[in-house]
Amino acid sequence: MFIGDLKMTRIVAILSAYGLVTVLPIFFVFQPFFVVDLPGIPIRYGDLLDLLLTPWIGVGVFALLYVFIPKASDSSTSHKNLYRVLFFAFSVLYVEGHGIHLAANSIGNNLAANTDARLALSIFLFDEPIGHLLWLGGAIGLALITVAYQTSHTSRDQLSRRQIWLILASGMLYGVTFGLTIIEGQSALWAGPLVVGALIVMGIRWLRGSAKWTKRPASTFFVSGFAVLLATLGVWLLRFGSFVEPSTMFLQLQP
């Protein structure tokens, strides 16, 4: 069955774990171990972990949410099929974009300084504009349809005060990490407007829902997360005057 009817605590646990997991790359990416190649293979340990974990976590969380969000008894078949098609489409974008970006980035890490300019440009285009456009577009799309789906399929239970704070804190962690990922991928200029549009649509769905927002943890998580994401982009631009990559700033701070 595509949609299950499980307890609110399951959804809160998934979202809380997701918010924490998204922060881990920030700590790992700058560790020396993760930029070291595998023995005899020109593939970094960090790239290997990214390959094995990111698609499963990035899409798997949304799949679990669709399973655990309670099913509405009055939901039509066409309505449910629409969400299934959108989930499939955005999942494909996410996985395809991540794979293209990761492959191109890994190849780029092994390019010689005198590499042919056309080859270097091709790798850059697949790494940054194309890969990130598909990847981030898929991630934003999955979050959008999850908010819409949660609004249409509201739980009978209500979030406790502790759960509310847990959802908001996890959503903010997700937002900060997502914002830094967009900046690091040199995608802020085009992704920013997408985030604004997505946040407006999410906010409208979130506020206009028939049930209280305390009964829609997934919607609350992503609305708060995207609000913090947008704030992260704005603060970064005001602080540094441009969307300079976080990794560049980190290297400049090294002794």
Q: How far is CA 108 from CA 3, 98, 172, in A?
A: 42, 15, 32
Burial (CB count within 10 angstroms: exposed 0-12, middle 13-18, buried 19+), residue 19? buried
Q: Is residue 1 domain-resident?
A: no
Q: Is residue 123 domain-resident?
A: yes
- Domain span including residue 220: 8-253
User: Token digits for 40?
Assistant: 């005899």
User: Which pLDDT tens digits describe the chain residue by residue (255 residues)?
Assistant: 333 335 678 889 999 999 999 887 766 666 666 778 888 888 888 888 888 889 999 999 999 988 887 765 555 666 778 888 999 999 999 999 999 999 998 888 887 666 788 888 898 899 888 999 999 999 999 999 998 888 776 666 778 888 899 999 999 999 999 999 899 888 898 888 999 999 998 888 777 755 566 778 888 999 999 999 999 999 999 999 999 888 777 655 555
User: How would you write the chain as a 3-class SS string?
Assistant: CCCCCCCHHHHHHHHHHHHHHHHHHHHHCCCHHHHCECCCCCCEHHHHHHHHHHHHHHHHHHHHHHHHCCCCCCCCHHHHHHHHHHHHHHHHHHHHHHHHHHHHHHHHHCCCCCCCHHHHHHHHHHHHHHHHHHHHHHHHHHHHHHHHHHHHCCCCCCCCHHHHHHHHHHHHHHHHHHHHHHHHCCCHHHHHHHHHHHHHHHHHHHHHCCCCHHHCHHHHHHHHHHHHHHHHHHHHHHHHCCCCCHHHHHHHHCC
- Residues in Cβ contact with 64 at an 8 Å cutoff, skipping those fewer than 6 apart: 14
Q: Is residue 183 domain-resident?
A: yes
Total number of domains constituting the chain: 1
Q: Is residue 3 domain-resident?
A: no
Task: Region of 116 please: left (phi>0), alpha (psi -120 to 50) or beta.
Answer: beta
User: Token digits for 104?
Assistant: 């191109």
User: Token digits for 79?
Assistant: 């309505």
Q: Is residue 92 domain-resident?
A: yes
**What angle, 0 to 180 degrees and rounded to 10, lies between the N-to-C axes of helices 77-109 and 131-152?**
150
Cβ(65)–Cβ(218) below 8 Å? yes
Query: Of 98, 86, 12, nearest to 53 (Cα)?
Result: 98
Task: Express each pLDDT in 187-234 by its tens digit.
Answer: 898 888 999 999 998 888 777 755 566 778 888 999 999 999 999 999
Quote the pTM value: 0.88
User: Token digits for 83?
Assistant: 């969400």
**What confidence score (pLDDT) does residue 71 get?**
64
Cβ(143)–Cβ(192) below 8 Å? no
User: Token digits for 177?
Assistant: 């990490």
